[in-house]
Structure 1
Amino acid sequence: MSRNRLIVISADAMEDVDEAYAATLPYFGRLLKSPARAQIESVYPTLTYPNHTAQITGCRPATSGIFNNVLMQPGIDHPDWFWYYDMIRVSSILDAAAADGRSIAAVDWPATAGAPFEVVIPEIGNEDRTGGEDATMASVCSPRGYQLWLRHRDLIGPRPKRNHGAFAAAVAADVLREDRPDVLMLHLVELDSARHKFGPRGAHVAEALRTIDSRLQVVLEALEDAGTTDQTNIVIVSDHGQLDVVQHTNLNVLLAQRGLLEVDENHRLVRWDAYLHSSGLSGQLFCAEDISAQKRRQLEDLLDEIVADPAYRIRKVWTAAEARESFGLDGPFDYVVESDPGVIVGGALDRRVIVRRGDPDFGGTLGNHGHHPGAGDQPVFFATGPDFVSGADAGRHSMIDEAATFAAVLGVDLPSCEGTAMSELLATGESAGRVTGSPKVSAVDLAPLAS
């Protein structure tokens, strides 16, 4: 059983095509010299919260319960997200490690609000609904986490242009120096934000990677200061890629036109028989509990119509049972709406049904995700440290295999995990850090860079 430490750093929306440039950067480059690696396929939908939950539970959404970023709250412009740790229906690698006596830190990791670990500073929003920012953070952080949040909160900046990257890196550095956790989970969002705002490709991607490299510098230098570099496994992961947004297909507007939901003169929801809950480049369609057989037949006829009409660019509508069987995706919805790549399945109530890129009323993000996991460029998994084999390549793996791999590295059991450890990446031996038959990945080289 390994007693080495584990740091998992999520570079949200990093894609396999980013590796070549990232490897030229000072701190990314140190982690990408000869890592153990895999190309990862996201769970469906390719959203942040379902996939970060898969990374720590090894379970798809039907099992974890985290089927979207946001809760189904019809008619609310900014729904609450799956912020809270107790929304996850299964145990995580954090639970397993804590039960084994390991200390845990989670910094801006999705779906960790209120988690019962030593250092917890979660990603959370809509604080106006939970008593304001101070009261909310006091309630969802661990005591030590709240102390660190107060110490570094000014790094987040004022609304509306807030950036958690510098904050998260500074907190993680303090945690490494002062708390020395056995497991640290860190989430960095600059690359995802850049791709959303400007699109999946362009100079802004390189700029965001350079910013994340500066965050890695803060973390790796703290690890060196703590003197635990040689006993630490470091894994860089991501949750999804992004696609160029080419169209919005706003199905709730179409449902209103066909009498399946009703809005008032201000486009506020009055009632609904069917409601589209957007998951970005896909959607989840809910039926009211009391929907009549006639209304359901009307809805199903409409779904057949939108699949048949190429203008909507809806590729397929899956029943919930079909989505569970094919993707491990399930929830309280009745259907999953899969669009062509780059088409947002929108839940807006106040727009045209079809809005194409280039139209005067096209708005929102230029890059997005939530698409079928097989589309576009893919998430990454790069690992270095005493329990990984230098240069090993596991090929294509599911996101759920990451949690199984973390469990193997830590030597703990995760009974609810649906994934399989990427054993070809793992060094084996009789004692922690000892390798039999395979070279281990050397500790990160933290010698000063040549000028």
Structure 2
Amino acid sequence: MNQKLIVISVDAMSGADDIAYARTLPVFGRLLGRAAVAEIEAVFPTLTYPNHTAQVTGCTPAVSGIFNNVLMQPGITHPDWFWEYDRLQAPTLMDAAKAAGLTVATVQWPVTAGAPFDVVVPEIANEDHFGGLEAAMERFCSPRGHELWQRHRDKTVWHPKRRHDDMSTAVVVDTLLEDRPDVLFWHLVDVDSARHLHGATGEHVREALRATDERIGRALAALDATGDHERTNVVIVSDHGHLDTEQHTNLNVLLRERGFLRTDDEHRLLGWEAYCHSAGLSGQVFLADDITPERRAAVEELLREVEATPEYRVERVWTEAEARAETGLGGPFAYVVESEPGVIVGGALDRRVVVRKGDDDFRGYLGNHGHHPRHGAQPVFLAAGPAFVPGADAGRRRMIDEAPTLAAALGLALPHAEGAAMVELLVGATEREPVALPAATLEEPEVTAALDAPAAFVADAVATERA
């Protein structure tokens, strides 16, 4: 029996904060009753796009080329993200699946715009840069993906922040019912959005988890309707945790004060020798190609001053070479600025250098990420299906170990991956005995139902979704 794989990313779901509550929900609870699990250490920075790329390549940002969510576009308030698939510098699990003759679908998965797969509905914005929404989606979806997006585009929520989870759920349900792909990658963002808007913990997160549970239930109901459920491996992953935002340290304002960049009276960028490219709770400092050795030394002296000044709350300044060697974060920048937990390393040009929560001019997200992965709650890896040992626990593993594990579940190899498969989770791949799930995960030990039937409350979900 050929096995299938569905990977569902619940953006910003964390083990320490969310698993106990997820156990009480119908779909997550059934999954956790038999899941093989691991606590995942994200790549640095703990941003969505570098980590989703690590999940499908098994590579760190220095190798994958995706070192930030957004491109380095100095002075632009809303830069483009790393939308396009051809920006990847490492092969993916989807490439391996396609080469093996498997059908592949990606729905709202980061860095998939223009990907060469059967069903592609990418995550993309800044549509005006691509000729408008219609032109962008026609260009970057696969033909079948564009058809499905057109069918369900009205389900996108636009305010207060554009969210695609209802639309993507409808697309996934129809893809599972009509296309029945061998491999599907799906990205859900409501938990992340809730934490950004209202903070790292609270009822708003539980509300988002409930909505996510119901959406995943619709997908499992579609699998049940086609008879694909028993041979499908369902894997829930996440990309990072969140920390409550306490301060902005706007390095570009300091760089301007010290003469390393120039702006006009409207705070528009005119020129720069050094520029801070924000990565949320960290930053990447770029130097102009023509900067002199003397000016470069002056920038480094300023960064050491920042590191030593308590009010800036900067934990460490890394050279690019240090960050690459110690964390796998590399790219075309010169330095990495790591803040203390909860401090945004800001790229804004129109604010004070230091803005603290409670100040009149403090604005932006109340929860954020981009921090070093040693801080805060960690992402999850929950896998159930014929390839995984129920109850097995791989302990704490690296994000780059996910792609080789998923490849092994499909009988594929990723020779370019830097990570290694979590063989203790895989049927037939190890002699190790499965370990009991952590106590926090087993607060309801009587819930042991396998994922061989979706929760009752979604029994009519397929009919509802198609209506």
Normalising to structure 1: TM-score of the pair?
A: 0.96
Pairing 1:444–2:435 present:
no
**How far did 1:29 drift?**
1.1
Structure 2 counterpart SS, 1:413 = coil
Structure 2: how far apart are the matches of 1:13 and 1:69? 14
Corresponding position of 2:273: 273
Corresponding position of 2:6: 7
Corresponding position of 1:118: 118
**How far did 1:442 drift?**
4.2
Pairing 1:294–2:294 present:
yes
1:244-259 alignment, distance < 5 Å: 244-259=244-259
Structure 2: how far apart are the matches of 1:417 and 1:318? 25
Amino acid at match of 1:72: M
Quick check: 1:58–1:419 contact (8 Å CA) kept in 2?
Answer: yes
Structure 2: how far apart are the matches of 1:311 and 1:270? 28
Structure 1: how far apart are the matches of 2:317 and 2:85? 31
**How far did 1:161 drift?**
4.1
Structure 1: how far apart are the matches of 2:362 and 2:458? 48
Structure 2: how far apart are the matches of 1:243 and 1:161? 20
Structure 1 counterpart SS, 2:241 = coil
Structure 2 counterpart SS, 1:376 = coil
1:104-115 alignment, distance < 5 Å: 104-115=104-115
**How far did 1:27 drift?**
1.1
Structure 1: how far apart are the matches of 2:434 and 2:158? 50
Structure 2 counterpart SS, 1:311 = helix
Structure 2: how far apart are the matches of 1:148 and 1:379? 30
Pairing 1:75–2:75 present:
yes
CA RMSD of aligned residues (A): 1.9
Structure 2: how far apart are the matches of 1:320 and 1:3? 44
Pairing 1:228–2:228 present:
yes
Structure 2 counterpart SS, 1:396 = strand
Change (3 A) 1:367 1:160: closer
Quick check: 1:386–1:441 contact (8 Å CA) kept in 2?
Answer: no
Corresponding position of 1:186: 186
Corresponding position of 1:134: 134
Corresponding position of 1:203: 203
Structure 1 counterpart SS, 2:310 = coil
Structure 2: how far apart are the matches of 1:336 and 1:449? 48
Quick check: 1:389–1:441 contact (8 Å CA) kept in 2?
Answer: no
Corresponding position of 1:21: 21
**How far did 1:450 drift?**
12
Structure 2: how far apart are the matches of 1:107 and 1:379? 20
Structure 1: how far apart are the matches of 2:131 and 2:169? 27
Deviations 1:318-345 (A, max 9, x none): 0000000001110100000000000000
Pairing 1:62–2:62 present:
yes
Quick check: 2:43–2:373 contact (8 Å CA) kept in 1?
Answer: yes
Structure 1: how far apart are the matches of 2:218 and 2:250? 43
Structure 2: how far apart are the matches of 1:214 and 1:191? 13
Structure 2 counterpart SS, 1:351 = coil
**How far did 1:443 drift?**
3.7
Change (3 A) 1:8 1:441: farther
1:1-400 alignment, distance < 5 Å: 3-17=2-16, 18-158=18-158, 161-400=161-400
Structure 2: how far apart are the matches of 1:255 and 1:444? 58
Structure 2: how far apart are the matches of 1:312 and 1:321? 23
**How far did 1:110 drift?**
0.1
Change (3 A) 1:59 1:296: same
**How far did 1:6 drift?**
0.3
**How far did 1:438 drift?**
7.5
Identify unmatched segments of 5+ residues in structure 1: 430-434
Amino acid at match of 1:414: L
Corresponding position of 1:432: none
Query: 219-228 vs 396-405, which deviates more?
Result: 219-228
Quick check: 2:114–2:140 contact (8 Å CA) kept in 1?
Answer: yes
Quick check: 2:224–2:453 contact (8 Å CA) kept in 1?
Answer: no
Deviations 1:2-49 (A, max 9, x none): 830000000000000201101111111111112100000000000000
Quick check: 2:282–2:338 contact (8 Å CA) kept in 1?
Answer: yes
Quick check: 1:285–1:335 contact (8 Å CA) kept in 2?
Answer: yes
Structure 1 counterpart SS, 2:38 = strand
How many residues in Structure 1 have an aligned counterpart in Structure 2?
A: 445
Quick check: 1:427–1:436 contact (8 Å CA) kept in 2?
Answer: no
Quick check: 1:387–1:441 contact (8 Å CA) kept in 2?
Answer: no
Amino acid at match of 1:277: H
Percent of aligned positions that are identical: 60
**How far did 1:296 drift?**
1.1
Structure 2: how far apart are the matches of 1:286 and 1:437? 49
Identify unmatched segments of 5+ residues in structure 2: 436-447, 460-467
Structure 1: how far apart are the matches of 2:14 and 2:457? 26
Structure 1: how far apart are the matches of 2:196 and 2:456? 35
Amino acid at match of 2:360: P
Corresponding position of 2:444: none
Structure 1: how far apart are the matches of 2:194 and 2:134? 28
Quick check: 2:46–2:369 contact (8 Å CA) kept in 1?
Answer: yes
Quick check: 1:31–1:444 contact (8 Å CA) kept in 2?
Answer: no
Moved over 6 A (4+): 435-441
